[in-house]
Structures are given as C-alpha cells and as structure tokens.
C-alpha cells in the first residue's frame, strides 16, 4: 500500500464518518423533523425588504407578504430602497400600507440597519426583494421563536425557477439545504440566517448591534453573532420561501465567491469559536471539520485533475507509438475491477441517493423521477465538482487577499 | 444565555458505525482478494494440465516425424494466447490490489515458469516442424520503474493483432526472483527494461511499431 492510497483511505473515512454522523442525528430525531410548535398568539411583526434594482420581483414579493395568513393589523412592511436605478421605487409606492425608506446605494447590511431603526414591532422578518413567502409561511415559523433563548428562526428556501442546468442543480441543492438546516438546528449548530424569510426577536437583534456593514455575508455574521451571545437559532422545515437563484455559471460563481469568502471572513472574525467546546457542536465539530474540508477538497480536486492529465497524456503517448491505430478497448466486468475505492464509492452512492430521497421528502416535494431525474443526475454529477471549485477559488482569493466586494 | 453542550454520544456512536463499515470493507477486501487469487490459480491449473498434454505430444513428435505439426502448432498458439490473457490479469492484480495476498508471489513465479516452459515448447516445435514463419518475442518488462513498458505493451499488442499466428509474445517480469529468468537475462544480455528478445536477438529500449514491423519483416523474414 502506497502513501497516496493511505491518504485516500483517511479522507474517505472522514467523509464516511461525517455522513454517518448526520444520519445518526437524523435517525435519533426523525420524529422531530416536521414538528412546528403551535403559535399561542400572533406577535406583531415587521418585514424588512431591502431592494436594489428589483423592479422585476418586488411586486411579487410585496403581494405575497400582504397575502400571508396572518392578522393584517399585526403585520407591517418596510421596503428599504438601496438607491435603485430602475423602477423599483415607483412599484413599491403603488402598494398601500408599505413604508418606503430610501438611501443612497450602500449595501444590504446598511439597508437592513436603516430599516431596523424604524421597527417597533416585537419581531422582525427579512425578505429579500427577489424572494416571496408561501401563504402559510408565518404560521409555520412563528411558534419556533416563542421559545426562550431563541433569537432567530430560519425558513425553508426553495429555488423559484428551474430553467437552466445550474438552476436545476441549485433546486436540488436547496432541498438538501432544507433537510440539512433542520438537522443543523436540531444539532444546535446553525450559523447562517439566510436573507429570505428568517425572523428575529427585535429586541435581541438591536441589542447585539444589528448587521455588520463591513461583511460579505451579513446573514452569516449575524448567525455567528447570535451564537456568540449565547442565543439559539431555530428552524421551521416547512415555512417555505421561494427565491431566485442565478441561472448562469457567472452569476453562480459570483454569488458563491461571496458566500464562501464570507464564511472564511467570519470564521476569522469569530476564530475564538473554532475548536472551542463551549460553543457546543458548532465550535467543537462543525467549524473545525469545515476547515479541514477545504484542504480535503483541494487535495481531491488537484489529485483528480493531475491523475486525469497524467492518464490522458500517457494514453496519448502510447497511442502515438502505434501510429494512432485503433486500440482495442478491452473492458472485462469482473471481480478484478473491484478494489477498496469501489467499496467507498458504493457507500457514497448510497449516501447520495439516501440524502436526495430524504431531502425531497422532508422538503415536501415529490420524487417525480419522470420529470426530475435529470435534476438529480446533474446534481450528483456536477455539484461536488462545482462546490469544490468554488471553495478552492474562494480560499485562493482569500489567501491572495483579493479585495472583498459584495 | 444558553449553556451549549457537545453531543458526545453522537460522535461516539458514529465512530463505532464508521469503524464497523470499515471492518466490513476490510473483510470484503480480504475475501475478494482470495477470490481473485483463486481464479488466477484455477486458470493456472488449467494451463498446467494442457502443458502435460503438450509434453506428451512433443515427445511423440520427437519419436515419430509423421505426427501432425499443424495440430501441435495450433494447440501451442492457443495455449500461448490463453497464457498471455492470464498474464494480463496477473498484472492487473499486481498493480491494483493494495494489500496483496501472500500466495500471490508464488503464483506469479509458478505462472512465469509455465510461460517459459511454453516458450521452450514453441522453440522445440519450430525446430522439429521447420516453422520459420513464427517469430518468438521475449518481452522483459517491469511493473516498477519502467517508463516505457506500458507503451511497449501497447506496441506489442498492436503487432500481435496484425500477425496473430506468426508472432508469439512472452512477457517476463524483469524483477522476478527466479533462476531461469536470471539465466535468460544473462544469456541474451538483457540489462534494461523494456527489452525485446526477437528470435534470440536482443533489442533494448522502447521499439515503436514502425521499427518493430521493420525488424520482424526484414531481419526475421516474416512479411516476405
């Protein structure tokens, strides 16, 4: 056995361990997945809707909020226009009872903090302009925040469009995230409070200083901040919010660079949490393993690329020795093709399929193999490579200290 | 303020389950490895059986010139082809199997001896039947430290495709610890890999298909 095989064995064992851990967490808590505490009352709530050039989506968003199943008197909306250059402002003005605040373009976190100053209700909800909630969204989510020590509750986000291949992949990814976010909340290790549809206790949000205006991912910073202040983050698995996802590679790349670099930025800002058991499972396991994960991904990607290049060049060289004559492809499917990699790949396939199945089930979708098979296949084939490329690129940007821009 | 706890029980249970999966994997791996060795051994036994058969036929040939050279030639050609196939599988096992069964090394020696035996039979048959149209190639390769062996293998496969009945290739591991191999290396002056011994004449280094065709045609009269 060579060193490289040993490295692979260790890496694959780590991946296997993480998968087993999540399945164990799921299995022990499978009864709690769909449980939403019944709201005992309807606390007053303000929706903060930051919008920058959202003329296409803002109408849909505001209409959906106004249509929510919730006492109208207990619900307020504040739109913060972040210096849009399009028709956003005029569209917002058409909606009665929607308060509009305008600022010169200075980013989402500034907009949120500006809006927060005007909030007088007990709760705050964030709703990005390109997203919109399901009709029962508030009823499903509101019970979770009544618990003591819970400062925020995250929603269940779904991709609203599935036109392009990247959107299809993200559609599956978002379902997976719904499932995983629930497990994270059960395991008490959520650290992201996504912009579309998360709710906060106003008092706590103000007390901890609102959103970090110098952060790439202010919705992650606020998560770390809440955990750091000793509060919990809840999750409702069926408070659905639909959000636009990038349709092309470029848009997706830009978004993920922001997310992943934001993650690196925030783990540096909250580095005292890393490997610190005082922060529970997040500090003890999630943050260290994410750190390790970046090296693993880097190693896997580079070793794979090197191997492909090496194999291809060897093949080409050998081919040139026989003057590019047809080479017989001899593929014997027999036991001589099975080795320890096959065993791991077998497990990884099972894990992927089980994860997709559970994600689809727990996000309230149907498997719908007939129409969705290509979604799942593209996800399994391309998502691992895509996400490793994004992670590695963002790590390189951070190492080279490329300027962080929103 | 909540006091956060680490859910130790989950980490420990998961560690046990992971270890269990790994152990099952190792068990499977060992079973599979034995299974592979068993399959190689079966094929080797079959080759040995046919070797006995050929020994008798060749003895008869030496005694009686009326024995059909064609039949023996045909059988030799087939058995050498099968031996080459087994050689491929032996190589696959040797390269891909991470933890090799101890019995593998003896199996490979056993296989090499049979291969050399078939080579001697072929030479004997060529002499007795006056077959100048068959070119014998001893191909010395190494699975460690040989940059061009894969390429040489591809070239030989290609040549064998062109002249299936007239080219007989015997792939011998340069590094194997057998007296007969040391003897052959010394006898033919083979000192590097890849090396080809074509009808008794040694050619060192990688030989491309063009050069190889030229050698077997002009020097060994195959194409004429």
The distance from CA B38 to its chain's CA centroid, rounded to whole angstroms, is 17
C-alpha–C-alpha distance, residues A364 and A239, integer Å: 11
CB contact under 8 A, A281 and B29: no
Which candidate from A24, A280, A319 shows the least CB-CB separation from B14?
A: A24
The CB density around residue A191, as the number of other CB atoms within 10 Å, is: 24
- Nearest-Cα distance to chain B for A312, in Å, is 13
**Look-up of token digits 């039949």:** B71
**Look-up of token digits 């109408």:** A59
The pLDDT of residue B70: 87
Token pair listed for B65: 């010139």
Domain with CATH 3.40.30.10 in chain B: 133-224
Domain with CATH 1.20.58 in chain B: 26-131
The pLDDT of residue A323: 83
State whether residue A327 sits within 8 Å of chain B by CB: yes
The pLDDT of residue A335: 76
C-alpha–C-alpha distance, residues A236 and A221, integer Å: 20
The pLDDT of residue B224: 59
Which candidate from B96, B99, B209 shows the least CB-CB separation from A321?
A: B209
Token pair listed for A381: 């084939």
Query: B133-224 adopts what CATH topology?
Result: Glutaredoxin (3.40.30)
The distance from CA A352 to its chain's CA centroid, rounded to whole angstroms, is 17
CB contact under 8 A, A318 and B158: no
Tens place of pLDDT per residue across chain B (224 aa): 789 999 999 999 999 999 999 999 999 888 988 999 999 999 999 999 999 999 998 888 888 777 788 889 999 999 999 999 999 999 989 988 888 888 999 999 999 999 999 999 999 999 888 888 899 999 999 988 898 998 999 999 999 988 888 999 999 999 999 999 999 999 999 999 999 999 999 999 999 999 999 999 888 877 75
The pLDDT of residue A329: 66
Token pair listed for B188: 């033919």
pTM: 0.89
C-alpha–C-alpha distance, residues B224 and A39, integer Å: 96
The pLDDT of residue A331: 63
Q: What is the mean pLDDT of each run of 10 residues along chain A (406 residues)?
A: 87 96 97 93 97 96 97 96 96 95 95 97 96 97 94 97 95 97 97 96 97 95 97 97 97 96 95 96 97 91 91 89 76 72 91 96 95 94 92 92 78
The pLDDT of residue B64: 79
Please list the residues that pair with A150 across neighbouring strands: A232
C-alpha–C-alpha distance, residues B105 and B111, integer Å: 10
Which candidate from B22, B151, B208 shows the least CB-CB separation from A13?
A: B22
Radius of gyration of chain B (CA): 24
In CATH terms, is domain B26-131 a member of 3.90.380?
no
**Look-up of token digits 């390429």:** B151
The CB density around residue B137, as the number of other CB atoms within 10 Å, is: 22
A249 backbone dihedrals φ, ψ, rounded to 5°:
-65, -40
- Nearest-Cα distance to chain B for A214, in Å, is 26
The predicted complex's ipTM stands at: 0.91
CB contact under 8 A, A325 and B158: yes
CB contact under 8 A, A285 and B11: yes
């Amino acid at each position: 056995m060579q060193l490289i095989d040993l490295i692979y064995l260790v890496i694959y064992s780590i991946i296997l361990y993480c998968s087993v851990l999540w399945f164990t967490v799921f299995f022990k808590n499978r009864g709690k997945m769909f449980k939403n505490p019944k709201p005992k009352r309807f606390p007053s709530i303000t929706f903060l809707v930051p919008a920058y050039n959202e003329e296409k989506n803002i109408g849909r968003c505001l209409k959906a909020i106004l249509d929510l199943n919730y006492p109208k008197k207990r619900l307020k909306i504040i739109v913060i226009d972040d210096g849009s250059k399009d028709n956003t402002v005029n569209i917002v003005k058409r909606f009665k009872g929607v308060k509009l605040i305008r600022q010169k373009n200075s980013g989402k976190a500034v907009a949120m903090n500006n809006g927060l100053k005007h909030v007088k209700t007990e709760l705050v909800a964030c709703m990005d302009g390109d997203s919109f909630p399901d009709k029962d969204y508030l009823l499903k989510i509101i019970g979770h925040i009544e618990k003591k020590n819970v400062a925020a509750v995250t929603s269940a986000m779904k991709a609203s469009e599935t036109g392009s291949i990247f959107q299809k992949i993200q559609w599956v990814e978002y379902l997976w995230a719904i499932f995983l976010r629930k497990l994270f909340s059960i395991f008490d290790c959520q650290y992201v409070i996504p912009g579309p549809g998360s709710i906060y206790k106003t008092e706590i949000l103000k007390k901890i200083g609102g959103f970090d205006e110098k952060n790439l991912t202010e919705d992650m910073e606020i998560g770390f901040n809440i955990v750091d202040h000793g509060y919990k983050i809840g999750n409702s698995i069926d408070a659905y919010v639909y959000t636009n996802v990038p349709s092309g590679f470029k848009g997706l790349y830009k978004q993920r660079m922001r997310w992943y670099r934001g993650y690196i930025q925030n783990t540096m800002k909250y580095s005292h949490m890393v490997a610190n058991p005082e922060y529970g499972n997040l500090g003890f396991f999630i943050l260290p393993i994410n750190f390790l994960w970046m090296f693993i991904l880097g190693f896997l990607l580079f070793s794979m690329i090197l191997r492909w290049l090496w194999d291809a060049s060897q093949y080409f060289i050998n081919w040139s020795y026989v003057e590019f004559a047809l080479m017989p492809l001899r593929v014997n499917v027999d036991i001589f093709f099975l080795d320890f990699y096959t065993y791991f790949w077998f497990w990884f396939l099972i894990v992927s399929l089980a994860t997709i199945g559970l994600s689809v089930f727990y996000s309230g979708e149907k498997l719908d193999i007939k129409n969705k098979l290509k979604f799942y296949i593209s996800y399994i084939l391309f998502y691992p490579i895509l996400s490793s490329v994004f992670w590695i690129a963002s790590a390189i940007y951070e190492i080279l200290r490329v300027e962080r821009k929103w | 303020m909540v006091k956060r706890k680490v859910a130790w029980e989950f980490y420990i249970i998961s560690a046990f389950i992971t270890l269990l999966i790994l152990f099952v994997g190792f068990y499977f791996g060992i079973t599979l490895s034995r299974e592979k060795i068993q399959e190689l051994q079966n094929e080797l036994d079959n080759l040995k059986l046919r070797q006995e058969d050929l020994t008798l036929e060749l003895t008869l040939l030496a005694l009686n010139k009326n024995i059909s050279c064609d039949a023996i030639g045909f059988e030799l050609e087939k058995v050498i082809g099968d031996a080459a196939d087994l050689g491929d599988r032996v190589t696959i096992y040797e390269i891909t199997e991470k933890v090799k069964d101890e019995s593998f090394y003896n199996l490979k020696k056993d296989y090499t001896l049979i291969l050399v035996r078939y080579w001697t039979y072929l030479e004997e048959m060529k002499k007795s039947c006056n077959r100048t149209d068959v070119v014998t190639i001893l191909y010395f390769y190494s699975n460690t430290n040989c940059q061009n062996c894969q390429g040489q293998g591809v070239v030989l496969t290609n040549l064998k495709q062109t002249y299936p009945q007239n080219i007989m290739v015997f792939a011998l591991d340069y590094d194997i610890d057998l007296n007969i191999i040391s003897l052959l290396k010394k006898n033919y002056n083979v000192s590097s890999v890849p090396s080809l011994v074509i009808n008794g004449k040694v050619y060192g280094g990688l030989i491309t298909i063009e050069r190889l065709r030229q050698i077997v045609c002009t020097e060994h009269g195959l194409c004429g």
